[in-house]
Amino acid sequence: MNSNYDELLEEFTEEQIRQLDDAIALYKGRPGALIPVLEKAQELLGFLPAPVQKHVGDGLNIPLSQVYGVVTFYSLFTMQPRGKHTIRVCLGTACYVRGGKKISDSIKQMFNIEEGETTGDRRFTFETVRCLGACGLGPVMVVDDDVHGRVKPDKIKSILDQYR
Amino acid sequence: MKVFRSHILVCGGTACRASGGADVKQALAAELAKQNLADEIRIVETGCNGFCAMGPVMVVYPEGIMYVEVKKEDIPELVEEHFLKGRPLERLFYKEATTETPIPEIKEIPFFAHQELRVLRNKGLIDPELIDEYIARDGYAGAAKALTEMTPEQIVQEVLDSGLRGRGGAGFPTGLKWRFAAQSKGDIKYVLCNADEGDPGAFMDRSVLEADPHAVLEGMVIAAKAIGSNKGFIYCRAEYPLAIRRLTIAIEQAKDYGLLGDNILDTGFNFDIEIYRGAGAFVCGEETALMTSIEGKRGMPRPRPPFPAVAGLWQKPSILNNVETFANVGQVIDKGSAWFSSVGTEKSKGTKVFALTGDVNNVGLVEVPMGTPLGTIVFDIGGGIPKGKKFKAAQLGGPSGGMIPVQHLNAPVDFETVAELGAIMGSGGLIIMNEDMCPVDMARFFMDFCQDESCGKCVPCREGTKRMLEILTDICEGRGREGDIELLEEMAVIIKDTALCGLGQTAPNPVLSTIRYFRDEYEAHIRDKHCPAGVCTALFKSPCQNACPVGMDVPSYLALVRAGRFDDAYKILLRTNPFPAICGRVCDHQCQFKCRRATADEALAIKFVKRFITDNGLRPPVQAVPVTRKEKIAVVGAGPSGLTAAGDLAARGYKVTVYEELPEPGGMMRYGIPPYRLPRDVMAREIDDIQARGVDIVCNTRIGRDISFNELDESFDYIYLAPGAHRSQSLGIEGENSEGVYGGVEFLRDFNLDEDAWISRQKSLGSRVAVIGGGNSAIDAARVAVRLGADVTILYRRTRDDMPAAEEEIIAAEHEGVKIEYFVAPLSIKAENGKVAGITCRRMKPGDFDRSGRRRPVPVEGSDFTLDVDTVISAIGQQPDPEFVPGDIGISINKWSCFDLAQGRKAETTNEKFYAGGDAVTGPWTVIGAIQAGHQAAAEMDEAIRAKNGEPPWQPPEEEKIDIPFEIDEETEEQPQAAMPELESAKRIVNFAEVELGYSIETAIKEASRCLRCDAEV
Amino acid sequence: MAKIKIEDLKKIKERVQAENALRHGDRRVRVTVHMGTCGIAAGAREVMTTLMKEIEEAQVSDVVVTTSGCMGLCSREPEITVEIVGEEPIVYEYVNENKMRQIFRRHILEGEIQTPFVLARGKEQS
């Protein structure tokens, strides 16, 4: 429906783009539409590279600068492609005092990646988060939607082996 | 109506689901179907029950039996036992943390018994996805009343009268907020619910939304009516999918029933609610930032005024309250303001919900009346601190809050008190921290959080938090400088005063709070590059070494034992400790309390391995060091501190003479600790080595009696005072001067001086002995008395956990038949013909908390009783006896009879010629503590002498190079600490032979191999 | 679902409260059906079903039903114990569906002990 369609097709399928356009159409004209549309876009596409932001901006009649501003402000949005699975280590206070930092360090070492990065094989994206509210189980590591509680550094490998 | 004979309420909160709750529920349904019970027994999935650490949990009614930590494998047995055979399954009951007593009924479990459920009244009791269950518990009755019977003004007045204050953190009166918005002109107004719970460690709002979503909707309907709004938003974190799902269902059901939408309950009032998913920005918890975010922009705060009540969301009048505030409103209207304000304190009414987390046994969600003492929450509800660790502080209010340390456990938790103590109530995150928490690291953690979440709009927050973080990081990593603390304080004040919004204004709070209560730990980081809690890893090699007062190189000697190089290991021991064989037997091993192996299974038995080295390694021969210095030094007291200092000074070339009052050197090691713990020959060998360096020890010589203080002063250039603390404190009760009453240390000294007379029964304690006290001297005295054939009872006025004595000593005493009575205090000693005949005591019970965090014992009236005894040994504490020091010499002595040290010095007294250390400075303490003081004194004296002479500092002789092998196991297998072989208790109590027999070579190597080598840098 | 009015709130409340009464501990009668292997073999399950049906039809909310294991008198199964608060427990023997209905209507609802079926008075610890 607009200029950067080809650019989007390099990374995404027609079906994905069609669904994105549906979401834009649904929210267009409503006040405060940008964030819900970006959430939807991220859910559909996995990440929000510049062409997607431009597409959303054009669709909602919002300047790219503002879209970019919002994307970079909220931690939920990412401009980088994601791994097949997401590892999130909780560094909320309760987990931190129970050894969350050690879990995070072990994972960094294991895959030679930093926080926010994705492994070379795009299997895992590693993130740390602020408190998942499962403080009773600290330290907590979440892989996709599975919460693994009371994790010890030497158990990490066997947990991650379950995710291929 | 479908009747079930039993309801099983399975917790469906996030924490229980995470620990496998969904599988358990599925297995339960399948098993009930299999057993043909599905028609008789109903499974109800509730929201968060609150007992999160015990998940998955379920409660079975009508019995009210709670099952905890249920696994899906448990289900067939549970169904068979409980639902078929009617026998509750004890294996899955909650067990009381310290006594392990199983408690079947939910209402008896202390975690629940001390709570006052108002906001959480429906938690774990209703299915949050069924609106009817909410209505059955008087749900929407408040909304109905507000819509049909009350004017907006009356609603506002009722809320105002209730004293309800915002539960989101600041505590602003809710009614006032509503009044401002009600008075604002405008046809469009908004009611906003803040469910963007972002504080780390806080999950109250999530739990309320998951367990009772309609309560929040009802509160918002009432608020809407009060201010004249037709549209509401709930701003909920996207990280809370279950809460969003339950809210979505609740909104749909409420709309179906006409409790939301147009013409609510046929009253003509319209109000609709939309959920807005927050995209992850902590600052959006701030009200203006939240509104900006709903508008679709970067969630940055706006300057106020205009206040949201005038120009909020889309510049329309708006109110924003948090989840818990709204959840209170329905009941305030339904039951009235007087009901609401019937609990709480003068200015803080109602209850408060806390997410209790961190180092506490019962992690979970709790609701208590405002003003409940902190200690009640931590110990009665929370069940205390796990693994026998000590409570250090509670953190309230997350990154905007502060710490409440141990000395304030009695503080009533309400808005005012918490603020006075330098924390804030916040939204209710209550994180319990034990002795392993480093306040500097914690401040850095929170500052990192704030710096990361700062939106960047205003300079004080954006730049200020960054600078403060840099300083804190420097301190944690050993680059702290004098003046940093003051700089932090100054910056904190400026940021608080000038930042635009709450995030920045409160960001310095954790720093100020930790400086306020733990300044000494900041100073230790900055001046000594030492992290007392053992957290800041940049400052040490391994936590064990960091915890040791003399910094023994634990990982190295363990590695050498693993490699079978016991002789080299012995050399490592002697580098920092002249008495390793003694410490291998009697040390209080602070190292083991910090051992990281404990997170996997159990701490390493460092003390036992140390002893093994001294039993099996070749003791390196000691050479006399030639005297090269002209200064003559005297040491008063041949205990561990005096001897260490003497040895160190001799090694530096000084001529040292040690004066000892008693016949043999060793101090408390010789005359306090009994030989079954520390054989005399073991001790004597280590003292011989001190003498071998050239130190003269003159025994049977008391200063002020055998030689005058003046003579000492005139004969020596410098003097180290280390006389110890050898005088028992008096009980201060009637009959104390009767024959047969001993002080604990006096008794032990007499026994150790005159052992033969005691053993041959020339001297006797009689057949029944009462020992008063709970420290190591009390246990020593009791165990000696048992060996002398007496029937011994220890009387202690607090609990076992409060006993200062080492746990292993208490256990050994019990094995040997010593009886211990807790919560008993002596009242008077009964004497017949001037001789002890009995002791009258009173039972005690736990009262409020003292400054050490232990409960103060308070008497139980009418509980007095008398024990018939022949001897009373009073071991309630010791004091130094500094009377030999003349008052006019300029050495300051404090009210505990201890020597004061000069300002900023660690061994020098207020007279520069005299140094002091050991128990005579600290009061009764440990052998290793005394050794440390000895090292310190020697170093400080030598430094002072050389500085005075203009000489360069002493260069220690080069140490032999010992290469430390590095060998670790790839996989850590769970394997507890190796037990120490002991003499059977029957064989022990008839003599004074050493009880602990020492590790075998195999055991020692195996134990040493458990070391995780935290010192290694990979 | 239809829109509700104020008075409907009360109706819903009463209905659901009755259903969920057993979560709140207000109970007048506790009936224990002894369901050991022997009891089940002798027909305790049918007795239980009958009892549940009776409770449902009578719309009472103060009767609590629990199960327990064998009382040790297997030859007299099925057995049930009826405990009315404040009165001594009554154990009935050889209970079947008809007897259960009679016990429910006469004893549990009316308070009239059905003497011919009684095995024992007072509670035996099971």
Give per-residue pLDDT as tens, B206-257: 989 999 999 999 999 999 999 999 999 999 988 888 899 999 999 999 999 9
The whole-number pLDDT of residue B1018 equals: 42
Does residue B236 sit in the same domain as residue B198? yes
Query: Per-residue pLDDT tens for B248-299?
Result: 999 999 999 999 999 999 999 999 999 999 888 889 889 999 999 999 999 9
pLDDT at C89: 86
Residue located via tokens 């006399």: B624
The sign of the torsion formed by the CA atoms of B967, B968, B970, B976 equals positive
Local structure of residue B817 (DSSP, 8 states): T
B403, B708, B1008 from B167: Cα distances, Å? 19, 70, 52
pLDDT at C19 over 90: no
Helix (H, G, I), strand (E, B) or coil at A88: strand
- Residue where a domain stops, chosen among B340, B373, B400: B340
Residue showing tokens 């859910």: A43
Report yes or no: B235 and B294 within 8 Å, Cβ to Cβ.
Answer: yes
pLDDT at B1 over 70: no
Contact B148 C6 (CB under 8 A): yes
Determine the Cα–Cα distance for residues B452 and B461; give it in Å rounded to an integer: 11
CATH number reported for the structural domain that contains residue B936 in this entry: 3.50.50.60
Show the tokens assigned to B899: 């020597």
Q: Does B299 touch chain A (CB under 8 A)?
A: yes
Q: Give the tokens for residue B436.
A: 């392993």
pLDDT of residue C125: 42
- Residue B516 and residue B404 in contact, taking contact as beta carbons nearer than 8 Å: no
pLDDT at residue B967 in the model: 82
Whether C9 and B5 lie within 8 Å, measured CB to CB? no
**CA–CA distance, B44 with B25 (Å, rounded to integer):** 9
Are residues B463 and B480 located together in one domain of the fold?
yes
Cis peptide bond prior to B880, omega within 30° of 0: no
* Whether B339 contacts B330, CB under 8 Å: no
**Do you know the residue count of chain A?**
164
Tell me: pLDDT of A1 over 60: no
CA distances from A78 to A19, A49, A122 (A): 19, 8, 15
Same domain, yes or no: B139 and B283? yes
Q: Average of pLDDT values for B131-146?
A: 94
Res B473 pLDDT > 90? yes
**Kind of pairing between the strands at B871-874 and B878-879:** unpaired
Q: Please, which residues bridge with residue B191 across strands?
A: B232, B319
* Nearest-by-Cβ selection for B295 from A31, A73, A136: A31
Q: Is the dihedral of CA B521, B524, B527, B531 positive or negative?
A: negative
Q: Is B201 on the interface with A (CB under 8 A)?
A: yes
Instruction: Say yes or no: B61 contacts chain C, CB-CB below 8 A.
Output: yes
Confidence band for A11, pLDDT divided at 50, 70 and 90 = confident
pLDDT over threshold 90, residue B87: no
Q: C3: helix, coil or strand?
A: coil
ipTM confidence score = 0.80
Cβ atoms of residues B299 and B290 within 8 Å: yes
H helices of B816-967, in order, are 919-922, 927-949
Q: Is the residue at B83 inside a domain? A: yes
pLDDT in tens, B632-662: 999 999 999 999 999 999 999 999 999 999 9
- Tell me what the mean pLDDT of segment B712-717 comes to: 96
Dist CA A39 CA B536 (whole Å): 39
- Residue C63 predicted with pLDDT over 80: yes
Domain C-terminal end among B61, B80, B110: B110
Interface A-B: count of C-beta contacts within 8 A:
131
B324 shares contact with chain C (CB less than 8 Å): no
Handedness of CA B763, B768, B773, B775 (dihedral sign): positive
Which residues in chain A have their CB less than 8 angstroms from residue B436's CB? 97
C69–B1 CB contact, under 8 Å: no
Cβ density class B714-736: b for 16+ within 10 Å, e for less: eebebbbbbbbbbbbbebebebb
Edge-first strand order for the sheet with B632-636 is B696-698, B655-659, B632-636, B718-721, B914-916
pLDDT, chain A, mean: 87
Q: What is the pLDDT of residue A136?
A: 60
Residue B736 has pLDDT above 80, yes or no: yes
Q: Which domain holds residue B69?
A: 6-110
**B91 shares its domain with B71:** yes
CA distance C1 to chain B (A): 6
Size of interface B-C (CB pairs under 8 A): 101
Under the banding of pLDDT at 50, 70 and 90, the label for residue C104 is very high
The span from the CA of B722 to the CA of B381, in Å, is 46
Looking at residue B381, the DSSP 8-state letter turns out to be: I
Whether the CB-CB separation of B232 and B271 falls below 8 Å is answered with yes
d(Cα C27, Cα C65) in Å, to the nearest integer?
10
* Residue C64: half-sphere exposure toward Cβ, Cα within 13 Å: 23
User: In a 3-state reduction of DSSP, which class is residue B139?
Assistant: coil
Instruction: For residue B955, tell me if it sits in a domain.
Output: no
Q: How far apart are the C-alpha atoms of B332 and B327, rounded to whole Å?
A: 10
pLDDT in tens, B796-811: 999 998 999 999 999 9
Under 8 Å between Cβ of B120 and B209: no
**Residue-wise pLDDT tens digits, B777-793:** 999 999 999 999 999 99
Mean pLDDT of the residues in chain B: 93
- Please indicate, yes or no, if residue B1015 is contained in any of the structural domains: no
> Residues with Cβ < 8 Å from B13, sequence gap 6 or more?
B21, B46, B47, B48, B49, B50, B52, B55, B207, B210, B211, B242
Among the residue ranges B83-92, B244-253, B436-445, the one predicted with the least confidence is B83-92
Q: Is the pTM of this model over 0.90?
A: no
Q: List, in order of start, the domains of chain C with CATH numbers.
A: 26-121 (3.40.30.10)
B434 near B359, Cβ under 8 Å? yes
**Which residues of chain B lie closer than 8 angstroms to C6, CB-CB?**
144, 148, 265-266
Q: Measuring CA to CA, how many Å separate B858 from each of B793, B797, B801?
A: 21, 9, 17
Per-residue pLDDT, averaged over B854-876, amounts to 95
Q: Please compute Rg for chain C using Cα positions.
A: 17
Q: Is the pLDDT assigned to residue C16 strictly greater than 90?
A: no
Give the mean model confidence (pLDDT) for residues C90-115: 90
| Rounded mean pLDDT, B836-860 | 94
pLDDT of residue A132: 67
From the list B413, B330, B324, the residue with the least C-alpha distance to B365 is B324
Q: Give the pLDDT confidence of B955-981 residue by residue, as tens digits.
A: 999 989 999 998 877 556 778 999 999
Question: DSSP letter string over B475-513?
Answer: HHTT---TTHHHHHHHHHHHHHHH-SSHHHHHTTHHHHH
Least CB-CB distance to A137: which of B15, B395, B972? B15
Looking at residue B430, its pLDDT comes to 93
Q: Tell me if B1008 sits within 8 A of B609, measured CB to CB.
A: yes
The token pair that represents B480 in the structure block: 């702290």
Record the tokens describing residue B892, joined without a space.
């300051």
Kindly state whether residues B443 and B577 are assigned to the same domain. no
Tokens of B407: 């000395």
Q: Are residues B671 and B558 in the same domain?
A: no
Answer whether B613's CB lies under 8 Å from B570's CB: yes
pLDDT value, residue C126: 39
Q: Which residue has the higher pLDDT, B473 or C63?
A: B473
What ranges make up the beta strands (E) of B495-610? none
Cα end-to-end span (Å), chain A: 37
User: Which tokens go with B528?
Assistant: 């000594």
- Under the banding of pLDDT at 50, 70 and 90, the label for residue B114 is confident
Residue B158 amino acid letter: E
Would B885 be classed as within a structural domain? no
- Alpha-carbon dihedral of residues B756, B757, B758, B763, nearest 10 degrees? 180
The answer to whether residues B162 and B249 belong to one domain is yes
Same domain, B220 and B365: no
Residue B886 lies in a domain: no
The DSSP code sequence of B819-857 is EEE-SEEEEEEEEETTEEEEEEEEEEEEEEE-TTSPEEE
Where are any strands of DSSP class E within B238-330? 261-264, 269-278, 318-322
Classify residue B833 as exposed, middle or buried by CB count within 10 Å of its CB (0-12, 13-18, 19+): exposed
Is the domain of B198 the same as that of B171? yes
- The residues near B818 (Cβ < 8 Å, ≥ 6 apart) are B779, B782, B783, B786, B792, B793, B794
Q: Out of B1, B39, B84, whose CB is closest to C35?
A: B84
Tell whether B462 and B336 lie within a shared domain. Answer: no
pLDDT at C1 over 80: no
What number is the average pLDDT over the span B55-77? 91
Number of separate domains in chain B: 7
pLDDT tens digits, B14-62: 888 878 888 999 999 999 999 888 888 999 999 888 888 888 999 998 8
Q: What CATH code is carried by the domain that includes residue B615?
A: 1.10.1060.10
Predicted pLDDT at B450: 93
> pLDDT value at position A133?
58
B713 Cβ contact partners less than 8 Å away, ≥ 6 residues apart: B719, B889, B913
Signed CA dihedral, A62, A63, A67, A73: sign only: negative
Co-location of B803 and B818 in the same domain: yes
Which residues does chain B have within 8 Å of residue C64's beta carbon, measured at their own beta carbons?
5, 62
Chosen domain end from B490, B516, B539: B539
- Answer whether A87 touches B (CB < 8 Å): no
Q: Is the same domain home to B527 and B676?
A: no
Residues B549-596: tens digit of each pLDDT:
999 999 999 999 999 999 999 999 999 999 999 999 999 999 999 998
Q: Which of B2, B135, B148 sits opposite C13 (nearest CB)?
A: B135
What's the confidence (pLDDT) of residue B906? 93
Say if the Cβ atoms of C52 and B39 lie within 8 Å: yes
Structural domain includes residue B336: yes
Domain membership of residue B122 (yes or no) is no
Domain membership of residue B119 (yes or no) is no
Higher pLDDT, C19 or B375: B375
Is the pLDDT at C71 greater than 70, yes or no? no
Q: Would the pLDDT of C26 be above 70?
A: no
